A and B are shown apart, each in its own frame.
Chain A
């Protein structure tokens, strides 16, 4: 009897240990996770002091490297050569951000299921079927053929791996412990995957399917009216000022096919969530308009607000160069920054560089497809997708001359699935990495232009200023020459003239140097007006740029403080243009006293989305409800998925009083009017606001109502943060909406010594157990900046420096 009891006890003990050592569903292995010697407690970093600062050895270094850290944990790296510089960048970034780096490359390469399980399989399949992995493979091959690029990639990879090999398991980021994972070795492919991750974030957005349905639904005339290429030209303020003359010797011309419309309606397809609000501002003011006489350059890229932040601040220095700015964890060099002689920044070009083709196969074997008079062979690529806890999935993807066949019988729930292939500039190998390497070392405008020549995707508006006093902007990327309308909707792959026929030459991309108006700027608006000899279709923003250009156009004696104010400007131009019309159609007789209070608030509003005001909340909720009521029945009826006209266009239609047609709810037999809809939705908006307030017992100030979230990359609420002190919204210069916003703010005044200021919503450390995880969020929300010094090696005693680390070659 006792024997049996002993054995049972032994089994129970063993089973308990197994259970506490195993991840069950999304529950981490509890014993392992709580273990104070190896689990999460090891990530609880002492608040006092700084975790690094001793001397240590790093394998692969050729010479000694000195790193100074400031109180925010920003490393200032002093290396003897480029190899050691990039190795240290990899090493230091991995030490602070390893989990984020791995997660992003797993996502880009369609490998999330390997670490998460079957839940993410569709996301992975889509990534592979859109050619993300294929593109990264081609790019790494292309980069490694160039010895200089290979040297940079190898050094960066070696640095990351030096940290991965050094870090004890107990010191791994908490997310590894949560998911019960270990990091794998970094590779050059992972670096190119990260570059494709950015390309996808900024150019992977696609509206072609909805546009196809819109065109078939509305017909060409109404289509042109609802989705114009150059909406309300008189009001627009393109990146290249309208007075600019294009003096091109020869224009690349292409042939237009006979029939340009689409053939088939497109069902609702799985497509990754890519936020069209990914945008940015940048501008550079010429010395003729600044108080000091030196140019001032500003940049704030708007991306999803995440923790750890998408940016990692760093200073990189060798005897030949010295550069400070924001880098992307997973990619070498500084992406937005400045050195002694130049400063630069980027905004998204927003041009359409991803087009879809309907493929006609010869027979069910799908070995050949029609292209003009010919039948071309398909290629087969098998994607092996690992799945945690089960066998891998083999996904067969056919390749066409356009690109991978994303949608087909293997990836569809439809009875008669469409065969759709994608062509995308991100698929083509290019060397963006070297562009940034060269920009970090640029000395003047010519160096800047030379660096940009290599740059293809994602197309960006590169803003520039120099110590010599130049300000310039270039919209750079590899842009196909398109016939009017090409690629706005799904095209027939059988028509050869539907394929891309040529690219716009580098020196014909929009560029302007020292324009007469005394500043250059961009905010994802149209690059040019209609006089530019090429098609520039894309998805543009129509409000921020006009506000920026309005402020800068009136500005004289500009200072850094003025620029800080402009980056944090909360003027809501959209509201200023839409609200008077909305108020004029509202029937006040239908409102009760409480609702009238809200209306009075709106009427006295100054159109600023300041965090302490309440009117912006009323406007936001009301305009959204009304927007839905007017458009949803027209755009999403009977399983049709049409493209919503741009916000700017919707407001213009409203002001022109021509939404009468759209105001009528086509699902009802009654004839709805704008007056009726706006009054009804105003009452609904009031009810929603009152209910929201009652449930939270707080006032609906804009900051609280918007409740900006900086989400943890795995969306764990415990590791996410809220910022209620920040105003703004999408379409406002301070473009901070609920989950997107200025992910890095930088202002640089050139001069004998550059003076730079910056901040971002996060902190240098990716560890939620570090005070430097979210340290900068509050200051960022309040519009405060830190000085970004361009230190020199002899500045060891600079007041901002709190620790020095000496890293030596491994003996």
Chain B
């Protein structure tokens, strides 16, 4: 449950920062960090929540753009990459990169949070 809440919060925040306020791509790190703060997830859980939150958001947005475009562009961009990934693979790579950055940020935030904040007794 904690993971799910953090996941949804991450995705929502990232969408707000990027889709609405047009902040640069690395704002997913901010979303990942911010969403982890109120949660009491373990570092592992936090990474997973951050990763999945942005992975789902980025893959979905990329997938929708790709469908409307009938993979015209992704088929070409795939050729720019070493192993020429398919359009769908490119969607997953996109989600993976965004997700990894958000996950790592969430993990870092959780670590910092539990290390430096005095436990409330």
Contact = CB atoms under 8 A, between A and B. Distances in A.
Interface in A1-46: 2-3, 5-6, 9-10, 12-13, 16-17, 20-21, 30-32, 34-46
Most buried by A among B24, B26, B72, B104: B72
Interface residues of B, number: 38
Interface in B56-95: 58, 61-62, 65-66, 68-70, 72-74, 76-80, 93-94
Contact of A44 (B25, B69, B105): B69
Nearest to B71: A44
B80 A718 contact: yes
A364 B22 CA distance: 60
Contacts of A2: 111, 114-115
A17 B76 CA distance: 26
A327 B5 CA distance: 56
Given A2-B115, A9-B107, A17 B26 contact: yes
B25 A37 contact: yes
Contacts of A9: 104, 107-108, 111-112
A6 B113 CA distance: 9
B38 interface: no
B44 interface: no
Which size class do A's interface residues fall under? 35 or more
Contacts of B115: 2-3, 6
Nearest to B29: A17
Given A6-B116, A37-B22, A719-B76, A16 B101 contact: yes
A37 B27 CA distance: 11
Given A2-B115, A9-B108, A41-B62, A34 B94 contact: yes
Given A44-B72, A168-B22, A769-B73, A36 B108 contact: no
B97 A12 contact: no
Contacts of A21: 24-26
A598 to B, nearest CB: 35
Interface string A376-410: 00000000000000000000000000000000000
Contacts of A44: 65-66, 68-69, 72-74
A13 B29 contact: yes
B57 to A, nearest CB: 8
B120 to A, nearest CB: 18
**Which of A37, A39, A717, A771: most chain B Cβ within 10 A?**
A37
Given A10-B108, A31-B97, A718-B80, A37 B72 contact: no
Contact of B98 (A34, A170, A718): A34
Contacts, number: 124
A13 B108 contact: yes
A47 B115 CA distance: 51
B18 interface: yes
A44 B67 CA distance: 9
B60 to A, nearest CB: 8
Nearest to B76: A718
Contact of A34 (B22, B97, B107): B97
A37 B58 CA distance: 8
A48 interface: yes
The main secondary structure of chain A at its interface with chain B is helix
A717 B77 CA distance: 10
B111 A5 contact: yes
Interface string B29-42: 10000000000000
Contact of A38 (B18, B101, B111): B18
Interface in A761-806: 768-771
B101 A37 contact: no
A37 B66 contact: no
Nearest to A46: B68
A235 interface: no
A30 to B, nearest CB: 6
Given A31-B97, A168-B22, A768 B70 contact: no
A342 to B, nearest CB: 40
Contact of A47 (B29, B70, B77): B70
Contacts of A39: 25
Contact of B68 (A12, A47, A170): A47
A716 interface: yes
A660 B108 CA distance: 81
Contact of B72 (A10, A17, A717, A771): A771
Contacts of B79: 717-718
Contacts of B26: 17, 20-21, 31
Nearest to A10: B108
Given A16-B101, A718-B76, A37 B108 contact: no
B68 A17 contact: no
Nearest to B70: A47
Interface in B1-35: 18-19, 22, 24-26, 29
Nearest to B74: A44
Nearest to B93: A34
A38 B84 CA distance: 22
B98 to A, nearest CB: 7
B25 A31 contact: yes
A41 B65 contact: yes
Given A2-B111, A2-B115, A31-B101, A36 B61 contact: yes
A17 B22 CA distance: 18
Given A9-B108, A13-B108, A34-B93, A42 B65 contact: yes
Most buried by B among A10, A30, A35: A35
Contacts of B77: 40, 174, 718
Contact of B112 (A10, A17, A35, A38): A10
Given A36-B58, A41-B66, A47-B69, A6 B111 contact: yes
Contacts of B108: 6, 9-10, 12-13
A37 B76 contact: no
Interface in A731-771: 768-771
Nearest to B43: A9
A35 B79 CA distance: 18
Given A9-B107, A20-B97, A44-B66, 12 more contacts: A2-B114, A31-B25, A31-B97, A34-B58, A34-B62, A36-B65, A42-B65, A46-B68, A168-B22, A768-B72, A768-B73, A770-B72
Interface of B: 18-19, 22, 24-26, 29, 58, 61-62, 65-66, 68-70, 72-74, 76-80, 93-94, 97-98, 100-101, 104-105, 107-108, 111-112, 114-116
24 contacts: A2-B114, A6-B112, A6-B116, A16-B104, A20-B97, A31-B97, A32-B25, A34-B98, A35-B25, A36-B62, A36-B65, A36-B98, A37-B25, A37-B61, A38-B24, A38-B25, A39-B25, A44-B66, A44-B73, A45-B69, A45-B73, A170-B22, A174-B73, A719-B76
The 10 closest A-B pairs by CB, nearest first: A769-B73, A35-B25, A44-B69, A718-B79, A36-B61, A46-B68, A37-B18, A36-B62, A44-B73, A9-B108
